[in-house]
Structure 1
Amino acid sequence: MPKSVPLNIRVKPEVRTLIDRAAELLGKNRTDFMLEASQRATEEALLDRPVFTVEPDIHAPFLARLDAPPQPNERLRRTMTTKAPWDAA
């Protein structure tokens, strides 16, 4: 098992009290409660980001297509001229 390293934070007393109350309700100590909560928030933040993987030989063409302006066509024209449902009255 990897060695653990310290992580220090400063917090207002009322926040510490709130954390301690929540940890106690769940039968955990403050450290375990905070580590689990921060790990969960970290995973949610990372999972909320889209990840695209492409082969090296198509990376540049892929980026070029993303950066290129859309080509005019009927569907795009219709989308851009249709009122949003919340704007239609």
Structure 2
Amino acid sequence: MSRAVDRKEHPLSMRLPEADIAIIDRAAALRGRSRTDFVREAAVRAAEDVLMEALPIRMSPTGFKAFVAALSRPASAVPEMMELFRRSAPWETGGAGNES
């Protein structure tokens, strides 16, 4: 009697329109990935996004108090962000990051 072996990989089959396959293949080629790797990565990323939206965030009462306290403090300027806001956009000046 042979012993069942736990498989690390499980097949997944999909039927897709030719246009979808063409888009997937083009994107996979741009990333230097196989179709399988590209689709697997995209599917897992999408699944993680859905799960992160659905799962509640849990924290201790002490952690929650610290979180609320941080949100309640007055905002303070971040010098690096203020510098970015002072700069003209590249499309406004004709160059990358040039000052007006």
Question: What TM-score bracket applies, with the shorter chain setting the length?
Answer: 0.5 to 0.7
Letter in 1 for 2:50: A
Matching residue of 2:49 = 44
Matching residue of 2:16 = 11
Matching residue of 1:71 = none
Separation (CA, whole Å) in 2 of partners of 1:18 and 1:52: 36
2:54 counterpart of 1:34: no
Q: TM-score, normalised by structure 2?
A: 0.49
Higher relative contact order (CA closer than 8 Å, sequence separation 6+): 1
Fraction of identical pairs, as percent: 40
1:20 to 25, 28, 33: 25
Structure 1: gaps spanning 5 or more residues: 54-89
Q: TM-score, normalised by structure 1?
A: 0.54
Separation (CA, whole Å) in 1 of partners of 2:17 and 2:26: 14
Q: Which runs of 4+ in 1 moved over 2 A?
A: 50-53
- The 5 A counterparts of 1:70-81 are none
Q: Name the Cα RMSD after superposition.
A: 1.9
